[in-house]
Chains A and B, each alone.
Chain A
Amino acid sequence: MRDRLWIIASLFLFVGFVTYPVWHALVAHVPSRPPSLVLPANEKQCVAPVSYMRASHMKLLLDWRQQVVREDKSKYVAFNGKVYDMSLTRTCLKCHDRQKFCVRCHDYAGVRTPYCWNCHLDPGQIKRSAR
């Protein structure tokens, strides 16, 4: 029982270590609330249900890429029967703001920004840089 002090001190140290991210966030004032995403104003429904898009939009985009580039298709029939052009620039960005939607969430989630935009164009960005 002579080691009681050591054991308790180590336990405190251990708990402090494990909960470090929480302390750090409190001290450094890192916001712990979700990012404020700008949602499309004129459209209520995305090409798939929100839950699917939130979890699997990357799968949908890869599937679109496959169909457009490899299978020579251009139209996507959504779950509700609506038909969309399979185009990142013309369909996704028609409603979504790249900076205030894609980038904000990717930054928050700490997901490396995908290199879609090295080639695909954001019409909003072209307009801004032309000014």
Chain B
Amino acid sequence: MKITRKEFLKISGACLVALSGKNVLAVLDSPVKSQTSSPSARKQLGMIVDTRKCAKAKGCTKCIEACNKAHNVPSFQDPAHQIKWIWERPFVDLFSSYETQYMETSLKEESTPVLCNHCDNPPCVRVCPTGATWKREEDGIVMMDWHRCIGCRYCMAACPYGARSFNWVDPRPHIENLNPDFPTRTRGVVEKCTFCSERLVKGQLPACVEVCPEKALVFGDLNDPKSEIRQMLAKDYTLRRRPELGTGPNVFYLV
């Protein structure tokens, strides 16, 4: 059988079209796959810090102490070495754009607990080169895998809230009471609040929420309209830290 070049090209072209058509049909036929879980089942955990209730207990640092104890957070005198999961900042530092010279003096002097915002669109996750930090699909927690962290500190540069700390030295000698239920970290690793994922899996609330004597920290699912946190958000006006950056922080401050 003899075949001209023109015929050969025609047949090859027809074959290619037929093959690609098959692929197109396969794509059209398959039902649209839902993501790992349906959006309604997906949670977004968040927190409200009620600064009015918090201010009632002046000088109280129970949430910070409970967190540090639960997670073997070391304490350093040198601020450059400090490790922070939940810590205190003056209210006016957190919300400087709201500061006026006529502001309530109580607000001016108030210090407020701050923690990782577990953002909707976390910049720390986007920059991590090893996947050591990621946003959990099932509940929106910005998690960390310390096994995977190589200590490049890109995430610390990316986080606009200063919620991440770096272990410049071995933290172990600087932990007062070691808690064997939680690992310590090692030198060269970044760490931050994980909304107590290890407690949530056991059905407990985060340590800071549980220990607060004023019940100033409210924790819950922001995607559930019936949750306490959503009821409170619907009732009161709350602030978030630097929402204009588009990170979508999930920690709210009731003023």
**A residues in contact (CB < 8 Å) with B:** 65, 69-70, 72-74, 89-90, 115, 118-123, 126
Contact = CB atoms under 8 A, between A and B. Distances in A.
**Residue from the set B138, B180, B202 with the largest chain A CB neighbour count within 10 Å:** B180
A89 B180 contact: yes
B197 interface: yes
B183 to A, nearest CB: 4
Report the 5 A-B pairs with minimum CB-CB distance, sorted nearest first: A119-B183, A121-B180, A118-B186, A123-B180, A120-B183
A121 B183 contact: yes
A95 B197 CA distance: 26
26 contacts: A65-B147, A69-B143, A70-B145, A72-B136, A72-B197, A72-B201, A74-B201, A89-B180, A89-B181, A89-B183, A90-B180, A90-B181, A115-B186, A118-B186, A119-B146, A119-B185, A119-B186, A121-B72, A121-B179, A121-B180, A121-B183, A121-B184, A122-B180, A123-B180, A126-B178, A126-B180
State the majority secondary structure of interface residues on A.
Answer: helix
Chain B interface main SS type? loop
A126 B72 CA distance: 13
Contacts of A120: 183
Given A121-B72, A122-B180, A123-B180, 9 more contacts: A65-B147, A69-B143, A69-B147, A72-B136, A73-B201, A119-B183, A119-B185, A121-B184, A126-B178
Contacts of A115: 186
Interface residues of B, number: 18
A26 to B, nearest CB: 41
Interface string B179-203: 1110111100000000001000110
A115 B201 CA distance: 26
A58 to B, nearest CB: 13
Interface string B199-216: 001100000000000000
Interface of B: 72, 136, 138, 143, 145-147, 178-181, 183-186, 197, 201-202
A74 B199 CA distance: 11
Contacts of B136: 72
A90 B180 CA distance: 8
Contacts of A90: 180-181
Residue of A70, A118, A119, A122 with most partner-chain B CB within 10 A:
A119
B176 to A, nearest CB: 11
B45 to A, nearest CB: 12
A48 B218 CA distance: 42
Interface centre among B72, B138, B201, B202, by most A CB within 10 Å?
B201
Contacts of B186: 115, 118-119
Contacts of A70: 145
A89 B146 CA distance: 16
Contacts of B147: 65, 69
Nearest to B185: A119
Contacts of B181: 89-90
Given A70-B145, A72-B138, A121 B178 contact: yes
Contacts of B184: 119, 121
